[in-house]
Amino acid sequence: MSAISSPAQPVAGRDAVTVPSPASTAEIDASCRGPLLLAFVCAALWLLTASGLGLVATLKFHSPDFLANCAWFTYGRVHPAALDSLVYGFAAQAGLGVLLWLVCHLGRTRLEFSPGIIAGILLWNVGVKIGILGILAGENTGFEWLEMPRYALVTMFGAYLLIGLGAMRTFHQRREPVLYISQWFLLAAVFWFPWIFSTASFLLVGKPVRGAMQTVIDAWYFNNLSKVWLGFIGLAAIFYFIPKLAKRPLHSHYLGIFIFWTLALFGSWGGIPMGAPLPSWIPAFSTVAAVLTLVPVLGVAINVRGTAAGECSAIARNPSARFILFSVAAFVLAGLSTAITSLYGVSEVTNFTWLLPAQTQLFLYGFFAMAMFGAIYLIVPRLLGVEFSPKLVSIHFGLAALGIIVYVVPLAIGGIIQGTALNTGNGAFFDIMRSSLTFLRASTTGDLLMAAGHLIFLLNLVGLLVRVGRQAACKAWADNLKTAEVTP
């Protein structure tokens, strides 16, 4: 495959092949409008649901009697329900919406199979809803990021096939034969999810493997879903929007290709700590892979820095672009921390501490969610022809950025202190756990700030739709009056 230097530059094919004329930007956005708005609104609703469930789970540490008489809201149920709402309800839907829009615009073609995509989005939401209800009802499978019962997983897989079919038909009908680097990430992401989702679901839920292999497969799925699948979609958005916002071509498309292959090769094999009850070569191999992910992480930092050199302040003036820049910083920090904590001397201190949830949240929310927020704020006005309120966008960014910082930093510090105390044996286990509550309370403030930001995000999105609907209704009413005046 080839790559072009900038998504803003039309590039002709090198061979004398007749290519249909590209669709106009207005035609592309019109074809995307219905499916993408449905996906983004549903994602925003699930994000708010995840915030509510996450706050309930957090409050359990401060007040164990909170909702203690309701089995559905015990910590063992509400915490995985909150996490799956965030991953499958928000992250997956927002990512798929951005993926479809980028495939259309980079391919300069209209969205294909729209009715099937809309049906897939609706079916996906049905699957996520029954999955979350199944978890709260006590049908948790016990596997991280795959806690939903079997019937929900089957429903979601069928829904994804419909969405993926639409993405592939759109890619096949593209009018631009030369591929930009973001298309590498997007095309791989379309196939990556059904492969890892079906494999993990079959080996862990359908026909479960035995013993310690369940731990290996679950770690493999977790890293593929987060580091690779979500990483591919997030980086595709970054490599598209940063050059657009900077009004410059990507610094190096060859470096982008190198990032793609190194992330695909090394990104999925981490997550198994040294000392796990497995043959020693498996944790060792996992550690090597985790350290080697520093290569794509540094590559992203170099490529973005080279593209935005001298333009960072100008980019940051755009309220939506701040989300993209923040996501790049979070991606680099999350990659560095993951590589460091995978080392044996560090892992024996940080494993089973609050540092690990902090790392997960930094990547999932700090990198991916923030990239999706920025992309949605840039995409939706193009779909509707109406801009978001810059003030509300800035408020959302302030709440989200401050929230993730206040969440991650105290938990990371508390995790290091907690791990050090556990390894040195200074104090009883109960006292060490109780001392970590101070850091957990600080992180709860971050949860509240992010939840407030999510409410602003939903209100901003719904408010924009209401404004567009009101304008359309007023225009239709005015047209009817003119028609009535003309008609004798």
Nearest Cα to Cα of residue 408 among 360, 455, 347, 352: 360
Give the structural domain span for 333: 30-470
Region 55-66 average pLDDT: 87
pLDDT at residue 9, rounded to an integer: 42
On the question of pLDDT at 12 being above 60, the answer is: no
pLDDT at residue 14, rounded to an integer: 45
Weakest-pLDDT range from 346-360, 367-381, 451-465: 346-360
Helix intervals (H) in 293-385: 294-307, 312-316, 319-341, 344-350, 355-361, 370-384
475 CB contacts (<8 Å, ≥6 apart)? none
On the question of pLDDT at 3 being above 50, the answer is: no
Nearest Cα to Cα of residue 121 among 167, 168, 162: 162
Instruction: Tell me the two tokens of residue 126.
Output: 């049905």
On the question of pLDDT at 399 being above 50, the answer is: yes
Residue 315 lies in a domain: yes
Band of residue 84 on the pLDDT scale cut at 50, 70, 90: very high
What is the model's pTM?
0.92
Q: Tens digit of pLDDT for each residue in 355-381?
A: 999 999 999 999 999 999 999 999 999
Region 400-411 average pLDDT: 96
pLDDT at residue 281, rounded to an integer: 87
pLDDT at residue 15, rounded to an integer: 47
**CA distances from residue 446 to 18, 54, 381, 406 in whole angstroms, order as listed:** 55, 11, 29, 5
387 CB contacts (<8 Å, ≥6 apart)? 381
CA angle, 190 as apex, 185 and 196 as ends, to 5°? Answer: 105
Distance, CA of 307 to chain centre: 23
Name the average pLDDT for the chain. 90
Residue 264 lies in a domain: yes
| Helix, coil or strand: residue 91 | helix
Structural domains of the chain, count: 1
Instruction: Tell me the two tokens of residue 236.
Output: 């595709």
pLDDT at residue 19, rounded to an integer: 56
Instruction: Tell me the two tokens of residue 139.
Output: 């049908």
pLDDT at residue 344, rounded to an integer: 85
On the question of pLDDT at 47 being above 60, the answer is: yes
Band of residue 65 on the pLDDT scale cut at 50, 70, 90: confident
pLDDT at residue 479, rounded to an integer: 67
pLDDT at residue 484, rounded to an integer: 62
Give the alpha-carbon dihedral of 328, 329, 335, 340, to 10 degrees: 170
On the question of pLDDT at 219 being above 80, the answer is: yes
**CA distances from residue 204 to 217, 219, 220, 373, 467 in whole angstroms, order as listed:** 8, 11, 12, 33, 47
On the question of pLDDT at 2 being above 70, the answer is: no
Tokens 């820095």, located at residue: 305
Q: Is the dihedral of CA 290, 293, 297, 298 positive or negative?
A: positive
Rg (CA), the chain: 23
Band of residue 441 on the pLDDT scale cut at 50, 70, 90: confident
pLDDT at residue 273, rounded to an integer: 77
pLDDT at residue 10, rounded to an integer: 41
Q: Tens digit of pLDDT for each residue in 124-181?
A: 999 999 999 999 999 999 999 999 999 999 999 999 999 999 999 999 999 988 899 9
Greater confidence, 476 or 54? Answer: 54
Q: Tens digit of pLDDT for each residue in 98-113?
A: 999 999 999 999 999 9
Residue 386 lies in a domain: yes
DSSP string over 235-289: HHHHHHHHHHHHTS--S-HHHHHHHHHHHHHHTTS----TT-SS-THHHHHHHHH
pLDDT at residue 62, rounded to an integer: 83
pLDDT at residue 338, rounded to an integer: 92
Residue 479 lies in a domain: no
Band of residue 352 on the pLDDT scale cut at 50, 70, 90: confident
Q: What is the CATH number of the domain that holds 120?
A: 1.20.210.10
On the question of pLDDT at 251 being above 80, the answer is: yes
pLDDT at residue 211, rounded to an integer: 84
Residue 108 lies in a domain: yes
Tokens 């190194």, located at residue: 262
Weakest-pLDDT range from 52-66, 251-265, 406-420: 52-66
Weakest-pLDDT range from 16-25, 67-76, 131-140, 356-365: 16-25
pLDDT at residue 217, rounded to an integer: 93
pLDDT at residue 1, rounded to an integer: 39
88 CB contacts (<8 Å, ≥6 apart)? 46, 128, 131, 148, 156
User: How far apart (Å, rounded) are the C-alpha atoms in residues 436 and 447?
Assistant: 17
Tokens 């079997």, located at residue: 150
On the question of pLDDT at 11 being above 80, the answer is: no
pLDDT at residue 6, rounded to an integer: 41
Instruction: Tell me the two tokens of residue 397.
Output: 């960014």
pLDDT at residue 18, rounded to an integer: 56
Region 336-359 average pLDDT: 90
Is residue 454 within 8 A of residue 403, CB to CB? The reply is no
Residue 408 lies in a domain: yes
Residue 9 lies in a domain: no
Residue 102 lies in a domain: yes
Q: What percent of the chain has pLDDT over 70?
A: 94
Region 391-396 average pLDDT: 95
pLDDT at residue 13, rounded to an integer: 44
